[in-house]
Amino acid sequence: MVKLFLSLRVVLFYVGYAALTLWFSLTGVLLLGLTPFRIRGRYMTGWNYCCVYWLRLTCGVKFEVIGKENLSKAPYVALAKHQSQWETFFLQGYLFPVCFVLKQELLKVPVFGWGLRMMDPIGIDRGNPRRAMRQTQEQGLQRLANGNSVLIFPEGTRIAKGETSKFARGGTNLAIEAQVPIVPIAHNAGTYWPADKFLKLPGTVKIVIGKPIDTQGKDSRSLTEDVKSWIDQEVEKLESGS
């Protein structure tokens, strides 16, 4: 009975999610398609906030942010743990103005992809690592020069709770060349929205935003390892409840 009840709540969430996606994508393209990024992006992040709060209402998934004071108005490169779809909803809205790196195939999805394009993302070819790194670097430098931050999931794909993976160096390379700080972000969203699972479990997602890391004179390899170590340790604390 419990599983059935949770399943019904998730179905209700996805019905609302589909309606929100359709509404924001169509109205955004039709009404704000030619406006500056800060205007159309602020409107489109309404979709992110609506999805997060609709999930809270239907499935009981709340959130708590720790370290919000570590965010600045100046551009930075945010490197975040990737466990579920939840953090993609939340961080895109919470960190705005931010442009995020995603696989370019998502931009071709009807309606959903239209909305994504409104957020000025960096679409990369994940099947070609060298090209993907070049796309991240070139487009990322442009976004940062325009005064926007860049959000990257250095693991490249969603990693199940309790697991970790190698961090790509694209984010640290970008931050070093742009001479902007790195903001590391850890969370335990995979506990409540498990990767590749249908059920969403009630509880509180905790997001820990670390202090900005200066990139001046740093080596991307060692910097990436430092960021990975901090994120892994914080995620382990969150998942263990300590």
pTM for the model: 0.94
**What pLDDT, on a 0 to 100 scale, did the predictor assign at position 6?**
86
Domain limits of the chain? 2-240
Write the pLDDT tens digit of every residue in 121-172: 999 887 888 888 888 999 999 999 999 999 999 998 899 888 888 999 999 9
**What pLDDT, on a 0 to 100 scale, did the predictor assign at position 195?**
85
**What pLDDT, on a 0 to 100 scale, did the predictor assign at position 242?**
55
**CA pair distance 173, 134, nearest whole angstrom:** 10
Residue spans of the chain under pLDDT 70: 242
Question: Which CATH number does the domain 2-240 belong to among 1.10.3470, 2.60.40, 1.10.287, 3.40.1130?
Answer: 3.40.1130
Query: Hey, what are 84's tokens?
Result: 């579920």
